[in-house]
Chains A and B, each alone.
Chain A
Amino acid sequence: MRHIKKAKTKLSYKTNKMKNYLFISLIAFAASIIAGCGQRDSQNVIQGDAAEQVYVAPGEYDEFYCFMSGGYSGQITAYGLPSGRLLKEVPVFSKYPENGYGYSEETKAMFQTSYGEVPWDDSHHIELSQTDGNFDGRWLFVNGNNTPRIARVDLSTFETVEILEIPDVAGLHCAPFITENSEYLVSGTRFSIPIPQKDVSIDSYKENFKGLINYVSLDQEHGHMSLAFQIEMPGFNYDLARNGKGKSHGWSFLTTYNSEQAHTLLEVNASQMDKDLMAVVNWKKAEEYMEEGRFTERETNYRHNVMDEETGIAESRKMTKTKILKPEDCPGMVYFVPVPKSPHGCDVDPTGEYIVGNGKLSADMSVYSFDKIQEAIANEDFDGDFEGIPIINYESALDGIVKKPGLGPLHTEFDGKGNAYTTFFISSEVVKWDVETKEVLDRQSTFYSPGHLVIPGGETKNPDGKYLVAMNKITKDRYLPTGPELAHSAQLFDISGEKMKLLLDFPTKGEPHYAQAIKADKVQPNAKKFFRIEDNKHPYRAQGESKTKVERDGKNVHVYMTAIRSHLAPDNIEGIKMGDTVYFHLTNLEQDWDVPHGFAIQGANNAELLVMPGQTRTLKYVPNRVGVLAMYCTDFCSALHQEMSGYLRVSPENSNVKLKWGLSDEFGTKEDWRKLQEEAAG
C-alpha cells in the first residue's frame, strides 16, 4: 500500500479530483457520441465489394470457425467466417432441453459443484488448445464466471466433456488462459474473498481477503484438467491474463484492479489511484518450488466432472485438497508492474516480447518489454513491494506508450505483420497501431462500444491477419427492433490492407465476450460423424434390436430401447405402475452422419433426448397418471418419421398387469421372450 502511494506521488500527473473529473467527462463524451450519432450511417464506410467478400456460395464452406462465448447464456457458439453464419450452439454451463444436456442421466453430473447442482453460468473467455504457440484444433476451454468453473469442449464432437470447479475463488473472470504448449490454463480470482471462507465483517477486507492465481494442468492425451497449484496473492481483483510465448514462454501476466482494496462502491473507490498492478508470474519457477515441496496442502472442496469417453456418462468426483504456493516462501516467482488506471486487457504480441496493458480509465496505453522486465528483475530495479512482492519500476519495464489512441482501451489482438488492434469501448472504435513504433495507423468506428475483438489466431505466434471481428456491447439501431432486448452485434472487418474495411454486421447469441477463430482445416478433418456402435460401452446399451428388453428392479424399470429409421423398439410397453420410475435408455443404431433420433414422452418433467448415431442416452420418467401415454421421435428422420412412435401403458399401483413389451406382433413377457430366443437358437 505504502509503495503504491509512493508510486502515485511520483508518477501521477493529475490529482484524484482531476482524475474523477476526467473520468466523468469521458463518460459524458461517450454519451454524446451515442446519443448524437445514434443514426450514424455506416454506409459511408462500406466499400462496394464488401458483399462479395463475405459471400460464401451455397454448398461452400467458410474459411474459419469462430468460437464465441455466450456470456450470460452460459454456452458457446460456433460461427463461420467470413459469412457470419451460425453453425452451432454448444451447451456448456447451462442446461439445454433442446438436446437433453443436463437433463439426461448421463449429463446431469456435469452440473455438480461444491454448492450442489448449478444449472447456469456466465461464460466469458474462449481458449483453444495450442501446440508450439499455434492453435491445434484439439480442445476448447471456457470459463464459468459466477460459480468458478472451467469447461473443456472436444472439437471432434463439439460436446462439453469436462468441467472443473476452481476452489476458493470468486467470479472466475480471469480465465482460462492457455500456455503455448497447453501445459496449463491460468486463471485468477476476480473478487478476493476470505480463504478459507469464514464468517467475518466485510470491512475486514484488507485483513482477511486474499486472491488466488490458479494453474490447471492438462493431460496431453485426453485433455483432462487437474488443479496443479494455486498462488496466494494480495486481495486485489484479478481481471485478465495472458501467457508468454516464444522468449517469454514460462511467464504469465495478469492485470488487476482495486489495488485500493475497496469493498464497496468500487466504481469510485477502486478508481482512486493512478496505477494498479499487473502480476508477472514465473510459472517455471513455481513448478520448481512445487517439486521441492515448498507448498502447503490445504483442505478445500470442489468438484471435477468428467465424461467417460467409452460410456458417454459423466461422473462427478469430490475433491478435497489443494496445494498453495505463497510468494513469501518462493522468491523470484511473482512480481508486480504498475499499469495506469484500472487495467483490463492484457495481451502479448506474437513475438512474446511486448505486453500491452490497457487502463480502462487511461487515455494512453502502456506497452511493456519482456526483455526490460527481465533486466529490471536481474538488477532488482524495484519500486518497493506489496506484501513482500517486488514492484518493478514502471519506467524500467515500459517499452513505450501509445499516446491518446482513443477512449477506454480494452483489448488488443495482433495480425502477425507487426500491427496491433485495440478496441475502445467509450469512443466506439477499433484502432490499429504499430507495435514497434507505437504509432496509430488507422481507426474505424464500430456500432457500438466494442468489448473484445478477435483476429483468427490473434493471440498465437502466427496470426492469420485477414479478418477482425469486433464484439459490440451495444446494438441500438443496427437491426430491426425486437423489443427491449436486442441481439449483441458482431462486426467483421477486412484487415488485409493498410486500412481496415467494415464488411458485415451479424447478430450473436447471448453476450459474447471473448472469441477465438481458427482455420477450418484444423478442425474440419477431425469432425466425428457418428459414434461406432461397436465401441459403445454404456452399461444400458442395446447393440441391436435383439438386445432390447424391459427389466424391473423394484420400483425402477429400465427400458433398453433402440432407434433406427423409422421405429423405436420396443414401441409398446405395458406393466408400468404408478409409483414406478422408468428409465428409457435409448441407443441410436444408425451409423451414418447427421441421423440423430430424438425421444420424448408426454408429461416428462425434464426434457427430451437427442441421441447421436451409436450413442446411448437415458431419460428418467416418473408417470403421474394412469393411462396410455404416447412417446415419439422428435427429430424428423425420414419419410416415415411421423410413424416413429409408441405407447407406454401405466396401470394403478396395485394392478396385476404383467410387464410386457415388444414391437409389431412380437409382444410378450420376459418368459415369452426367453422362449422365442430359445426357439431361434435351437
Chain B
Amino acid sequence: MKNLMGILALSILFLIFSCGGSENGGEASSSSSSGSIDESSSAEAATSSKGVGEIKNLNLDDSLNVSMVFKGKQIVDMKCASCHKLTDKRVVGPGFEGVTNRRQPEWIMNMITNTDVMLAEDPTAQKLLEECLTRMPNQGLSVGDARDVLEFLRQNDEAKLGKRDEAYQEG
C-alpha cells in the first residue's frame, strides 16, 4: 500500500514537472505569438481564440492607461498572484509573462470573468487545465476589473519582454 502511494505520488510529481517543462520550453523556443500550448488550439477558428463570454471585440489603445495598470496590479496581487507569477514561471497556473502575445485580449478577459464556462467549452482553456490539473477558480472579477488586469498584463509584458499585444487583432 505504501509503495503504491509512493508510485502514485511520484507519478503526480512527474506530471507536474513535465507540465511545467513543456510550457517553459515552449515559450523559450518560440519567438512567435504562439507557444507550444497554443499550437493545437491556434488551428481553431478565430472566434474560439477570443474565448467564450461576453467580451466579443475589444479595441485597445496603443498607449497604456497608467491608472488602470495600477488598479490592475492591486487586483492581481489580491486575487491572482497566489497562482500566477509575473515571470514565465509556472506555479499553479502559467506565469503571466508573454500572455498578451499568446492570447487575444478578449480571451484573457473571458477567461477571467467567465472561468467555468471557458473551462467547459474553450479548447485552449481545457488544454491548460489538463496540464495544470487545478481548475482556475472564479475570483469574482467584474468586466471592469478584468479590463484593469489586462492593462496591467500588457504593462508587465512590455516591462519583461519589451513587446506586448502581439496576439491582438484589431476590430
Tell me whether A591 and B79 are in contact (CB under 8 A).
yes
Q: Are A534 and B92 in contact (CB under 8 A)?
A: no
Asked if A47 is at the interface (CB within 8 A of a chain B CB), the reply is no
CB of A589 within 8 A of CB of B82, answer yes
Set of chain B residues within 8 Å of A289, measured between Cβ atoms: none
A591 and B82 contact, Cβ closer than 8 Å, known pairs A544-B77, A565-B134, A638-B134: no
What is the CA–CA distance of A564 and B92 in the complex, to the nearest angstrom? 10
Nearest Cβ on chain B to A562's Cβ, whole angstroms:
6
Within the assembled complex, what's the spacing in Å between the Cα atoms of A589 and B76? 12
Would A532 and B82 count as touching, CB distance under 8 A?
Answer: no
> Which of the residues B12, B135, B139 comes within 8 Å of A638, measured between beta carbons?
B135
Distance between A484 CB and nearest chain B CB, rounded to angstroms: 38
User: From residue A642, how far is it (CB to closest CB) to chain B in Å?
Assistant: 9
Interface check B81, CB cutoff 8 A = yes
Q: Does A201 contact B (CB under 8 A)?
A: no
Q: In angstroms, how far is the closest chain A Cβ from the Cβ of B160? A: 12
Chain A contacts with B in 519-563, Cβ cutoff 8 A: 530, 532-534, 543-547, 562
Given contact pairs A638-B134, A639-B133, A592 touches B82 in the complex (Cβ within 8 A): no
A564/B137 in contact, CB under 8 A: yes
The residues of A that contact B79 with a CB separation of less than 8 Å are 533, 544, 589, 591
B60 within 8 A of partner (CB): no
Q: Is A181 an interface residue (CB 8 A)?
A: no
Closest Cβ of chain B to A506, distance in Å, is: 34
Cα A547 to Cα B79 in complex, Å, equals: 12
Contact of B78 among A530, A544, A639, A664 (CB under 8 A): A544
CB of B64 closer than 8 Å to a CB of A: no
Query: A429 in the interface, Cβ–Cβ < 8 Å?
Result: no
B22 within 8 A of partner (CB)? no
A591 touches B92 (CB 8 A): no
Say whether B134 contacts A592, CB under 8 Å. Answer: no
Bound CA–CA A532/B145 (angstroms)? 14
* A 231-278 contacts with B by CB, 8 A: none
B161 interface residue, CB < 8 Å from A?
no
Cross-chain contact A546 with B81 (CB below 8 angstroms): yes
Rounded to whole Å, the gap between the CB of B140 and the closest CB of chain A is 3
Q: Does B91 contact A (CB under 8 A)?
A: yes
Interface of B is mostly: loop
The reply to whether B140 and A592 form a contact with Cβ atoms under 8 Å apart is: yes
Given known A533-B79, A544-B81, A544-B82, contact A592–B139 (CB-CB < 8 A): yes
A565 contact from B77, B78, B135, B140, Cβ within 8 A: B135
Shortest Cβ distance from B129 into A: residue: A639
Name the one of A534, A592, A639, A640 contacting B137, with C-beta atoms under 8 angstroms. Answer: A592
- CB contacts under 8 Å to B, within A616-643, are 638-640, 643
Q: Is B138 an interface residue (CB 8 A)?
A: yes
Please state if A530 and B82 are interface contacts (CB–CB under 8 Å).
no
A564: B residues at CB distance < 8 A? 82-83, 137
Q: Provide the residues of chain B in CB contact with A569, threshold 8 Å.
A: 82
Closest chain-A Cβ to B136's Cβ sits at a distance in Å of 9
B137 and A591: CB pair below 8 A? yes
Give the residue of A532, A562, A567 whose beta carbon is less than 8 angstroms from that of B92: A567
- A566 beta carbon closer than 8 Å to chain B: yes
List of A residues within 8 angstroms of B141 by Cβ? 591
Asked if A612 lies at the interface with its beta carbon under 8 angstroms from chain B, I say no
CB proximity to A under 8 Å, residues B8-27: 12
- Please give the distance in Å from B64's CB to the nearest CB on chain A: 19
- Please provide the chain B residues from 126 to 168 with a CB less than 8 Å away from any CB of chain A in the complex: 133-135, 137-141
- State how many angstroms separate the Cβ of B81 from the closest Cβ of chain A: 5
Quick one: which of B83, B135, B140, B141 has the most chain A CB within 10 A? B140
Closest to A542 in B: B78
A349 at the interface (CB under 8 A from B): no
* Contact residues in A for B139 (Cβ distance below 8 Å): 590-592
Chain B min CB distance to A53 (Å): 35
Q: Once the chains bind, are A664 and B91 in contact (CB under 8 Å)?
A: yes
A561-602 CB contact bits vs B (8 Å, 1 = yes)? 010111101000000000000000000011110010000000
Interface pair B135/A591, CB less than 8 Å apart? no
Contacts of A545 in B (CB 8 A): 81-82
CA distance A595 to B134 in the complex (A): 13
Chain A residues lying within 8 Å of B91, measured Cβ to Cβ, are 664
Contacts of B83 in A (CB 8 A): 564
Q: Which residues of chain B come closer than 8 Å to A544, judged between CB atoms? A: 77-79, 81-82
Q: Considering only CB atoms, which chain B residue lies closest to A640 in the complex?
A: B134
Q: Please pick, from B77, B92, B138, B140, the residue contacting A566 in the complex, using a CB distance under 8 A.
A: B92
> Which residue of chain A is the closest to B140 with respect to CB atoms?
A591
- The answer to whether A546 and B77 have CB atoms under 8 Å apart is yes
Query: Is the CB–CB distance between A562 and B133 below 8 Å?
Result: no
Known: A533-B79, A639-B134. 15 other contacts (CB 8 A): A532-B140, A544-B79, A545-B82, A564-B83, A565-B137, A566-B134, A569-B82, A591-B138, A592-B138, A592-B139, A592-B140, A595-B137, A639-B135, A643-B12, A664-B91
Question: What are 13 of the A-B contact pairs (CB < 8 Å)?
Answer: A533-B79, A544-B78, A544-B81, A565-B135, A567-B92, A590-B139, A591-B79, A591-B140, A591-B141, A592-B139, A638-B135, A639-B135, A640-B133
